[in-house]
Amino acid sequence: MNNSLNIEPLSGALGAEIGGVDLAGPLDDATIAAIRRVWLEYGVIFFRDQNLPEARFLAFARRFGAVIEYPFVKGLEGFPEIIPVVKLEQERVNFGGIWHSDTSYLEAPPMGTMLIAREVPPRGGDTLFASAYLAYETLSEGMRRMLDGLVAVSSSAKADVSRTREDRVRASVRPDAKAEYSAEHPVVRTHPETGRKALYVNVGHTLRFRDMTEAESAPLLSYLFAHQTRPEFTCRFRWRPGSIAFWDNRCTLHNPINDYHGYRRVMHRITLAGDTPR
């Protein structure tokens, strides 16, 4: 079955659409292994026109790893592992609307995230993705050598990202959510499956370097935040109902574009457990 997969790269940096597979049907181990290989090669993969109700969506995600719950927002009724990512017509702030790597403020951030589109605006609402591999590999030798020894502090309470969660958290906050989560991770992490190094900071969550103040850290972090989202490191995905994105949280960043005020956008998200960055 895996021989029928049709792989269409989206850009020179990362991202590929996979066609020729019905994710609602039976998928043998060879097909799942083939999809995983494409995912590891391209960092983020996309599927179109998939009819996956909640139970089937969850079953597909579990073929790739253990599913975990998001720390802030309650999941769907009957499916707590699936969280709704919603922007309503009257809302101005979109959930997670800033460049980020998912929940890097956790001790063991997610391995990956799956997102399926249920309702999309007639235009706008695309998502940008960026390669953290290229962000690291294109730095000078001297910069890479310096960064290899640094550790970054990430926080869920960083002001910019807190604002992108405000409407959803207010409406559906988990009763067991902490006021703040924070963690320390290497600025350069080695991918546990590919062995490639990736720049592991992001403007959404990274506050400072360990043993430095925010003010001391700001100049270098500002450079890295701008560098890692250069256009040549990115791809852009336009959603349709039934579209799925599955990104590797260990080597990519993403940014949902907030350009569809007055329209509703409804997505369902599943998060897969990861390991502690090394």
Catalytic machinery residues:
100, 102, 254, 269
Whole-number Å distance between alpha carbons of 177 and 167: 15
Q: Give Cα separations from 118 to 55, 133, 153, 173, 237 (angstroms).
A: 14, 31, 35, 22, 15
Selection from 40, 39, 46 nearest residue 23 by Cα: 46
Strand order in the sheet with 234-237: 234-237, 127-131, 252-256
Whole-number Å distance between alpha carbons of 168 and 162: 11
Whole-number Å distance between alpha carbons of 5 and 8: 10
Q: Is the dihedral of CA 161, 247, 176, 209 positive or negative?
A: negative
